[in-house]
Structure 1
Amino acid sequence: MAYGDCMTIDWDTVRCFITVAEKKSLMAAAETLGMSNATLGRKIDALEMATGLQLVLRGPGGVTLTDQGVEMLALAKAGGDHLFQMERLAFSLKSDRRALPIRISTTETMVSAVLAPQLPKLMEKHPDILVDLIMSTDLADLNRREADIAVRLARPKSDGLIARRLPDINSGLYASADYLKGCNPDNLKLHEEKLAGLDDQYGAIPESVWMNEHGLQQAVSVQTSSVFALLEIAKSGAAIAMIPDFLAKRHALIPIAAPQSPVRKPWIVFHRDNRRNPEIKAVRNWIAECCQASFGTG
């Protein structure tokens, strides 16, 4: 297609291309975008037809970009940054709000158990700051400016992002008094007990690796992708669960003697362009204070 020919590219199609490039898989990208593989495939085909370029190579091992795709991706991301900012501004104007919300992307546990309970402190000190708490584990939301701040359990390596350490999150095996029924929590044969653990939704996470290393995977009777579900399982007396120490203490669960559990090292992450923004800095400081109050010095 020669330059100047009619070429129509809509933002939704570009967003699909960016997600496919980041996920390196049509299936993973389709799941993230909430559409079928076939629909996403048609979106990519439409973009290639509109540009007259082959942008992706599809194979059994996933998706890779052509050289032309790599060049197009860089431009797509730059344009995407501006479009996301336009969407946020439109939301603000429609809501009759002059301030844009500071978007914080983090895990379910961080949102519900660490940040939400401490919101009064932020609101008292900074009454004009609006926050949007997003449950996500994908760093792409920072690169695409879908979020202003993220809290992640691994240090990111993406260019343009700044990461600062937060206090360690210690975890352990915990049970309720109903589960123990008077048994000594320091003298249990764990491979003979009922255990609850996280499923493989997040891959080979430290907790799952720990279970396998200590031969306890066969004792797992229930799995879930939710830390709060693990907490409720332990509270109910159904099983012993690996739970962050700060959550277990809040609910008076009993620690079970076990080998040293994994220690998670969380990071607060933000885009380099936002490092001097006073509102984002205030929210970053508040997040750090919330984590210090919950996790201690680690």
Structure 2
Amino acid sequence: MQGMDWSDLQVFLAIARAGQMGRAGAALGVDPTTTSRRLRRLEAALGETLFEQTREGQVLTEAGERLLAKVEAMAQAATAIREGGPASASGLLSGTLRISASEGFGSWFLAAHVPDFVRAHPALTLDLVANSGFLSLSKREADIAVMLSRPKAGPVIARKLSDYSLRLYAGQAYLDHAGAPHSPADLLKGHSLVGYIPDLLYAPELRYLDELQTGLAPALRSSSINAQHHLIAAGAGIGVLPCFMGDADPALVPVLPERRITRSFWLVTHKDTHQLARVRAGRDWILGVVQRHRGQLLPE
């Protein structure tokens, strides 16, 4: 950082947090032309491009992400000196944190605890992408991903987050009509099964039924675990759900409750950005939520 103008670094930090040149200039009280000029001066001094121009605004390059980690640390240290105490990372967090998670974990488990994170970081924009599939950390589509397996390649850092349990559920109306199976083999005898569409599976870990009984195939299929949940709750059939979903719905009844399926969640970040303050905060939040509520993931 030797020889650089601190004011240029402040401009860089403002653009990184705001995501747009104009908003950054407004936050600093300078015009966009001055903001752009100072950014170009900083890029020239470093010999690197720090942002890519998109339709939405400025997006950090890999070089920009590396610089941001250093400048955020400098800003926290400056705040500590100014306020006479230790730097508060949570008070400085801004910009956007994008978390990619499986549909069930994101919408049923993680979303319930988002208000605590938002209250702790009111200036941070949180994107919770919970759908069928995962965004790519290697392509910088997300900052954090909660995945169903450890990535086999790519510039990422992965750690096991937790195991979780799944089992069969049905609505009481379905069981009243079709009867309750007493063994996995009974599922082959006239029961309607709910599950994934085989050729639209986005992860092999979502193949469940063969682990319960060879030859089981769903007749009611959806690529969405939330749609499967609604089908089961409506009395359309029997299906496998994560226990953190099925146990939370009083309309559902466990079927063959002694038969459990176990899968794992993995917490994944990019090597270039895992030390950014907002990424660390998001990672620590997810780890804390899982630690406090592990009983929902792995019920007794």
Question: Above 0.5 in TM-score?
Answer: yes
Q: Equivalents in 2 of 1:288, 1:91: separation in Å?
A: 27
CA RMSD of aligned residues (A): 3.2
Counterpart selection for 2:187 from 190, 195, 213: 190
- When residues 81 and 194 of structure 1 are mapped into structure 2, their CA distance, relative to the original with a 3 A threshold, is farther
2:122 equivalent to 1:123: no
In 2, are the aligned partners of 1:165 and 1:268 still within 8 Å (CA)? yes
1:256 maps to: 255
How much does 1:212 deviate?
A: 7.1
In 2, are the aligned partners of 1:198 and 1:226 still within 8 Å (CA)? yes
- When residues 209 and 124 of structure 1 are mapped into structure 2, their CA distance, relative to the original with a 3 A threshold, is closer
Aligned residues: 213
Deviations 1:116-152 (A, max 9, x none): 2211100122222221122456666211112111110
Q: Equivalents in 2 of 1:134, 1:158: separation in Å?
A: 22
In 2, are the aligned partners of 1:88 and 1:100 still within 8 Å (CA)? no
Counterpart selection for 1:141 from 132, 136, 140: 136
- When residues 83 and 259 of structure 1 are mapped into structure 2, their CA distance, relative to the original with a 3 A threshold, is farther
Counterpart selection for 2:197 from 192, 199, 203: 199
- When residues 212 and 276 of structure 1 are mapped into structure 2, their CA distance, relative to the original with a 3 A threshold, is closer
Give 1:169-180 correspondences, 5 Å limit: 169-180=164-175
Amino acid at match of 1:244: P
How much does 1:227 deviate?
A: 0.6
Deviations 1:219-270 (A, max 9, x none): x221111111111111111100111111111112211117744311111100
Structure 2: gaps spanning 5 or more residues: 1-47, 61-92
1:164 maps to: 159
How much does 1:157 deviate?
A: 2.1
- When residues 213 and 114 of structure 1 are mapped into structure 2, their CA distance, relative to the original with a 3 A threshold, is closer
Q: Which has the larger radius of gyration?
A: 2
1:108 maps to: 103
Structure 1: gaps spanning 5 or more residues: 1-78, 93-97
In 2, are the aligned partners of 1:164 and 1:268 still within 8 Å (CA)? yes
Q: Equivalents in 1 of 2:197, 2:152: separation in Å?
A: 25
Give 1:171-250 correspondences, 5 Å limit: 171-181=166-176, 183-184=179-180, 186=182, 189-192=186-189, 193-200=191-198, 201-202=200-201, 205-208=204-207, 210-211=209-210, 214-218=213-217, 220-250=218-248
In 1, are the aligned partners of 2:132 and 2:223 still within 8 Å (CA)? no
Deviations 1:144-197 (A, max 9, x none): 112111110010122321011112121111011111118455467111211111
How much does 1:208 deviate?
A: 2.7
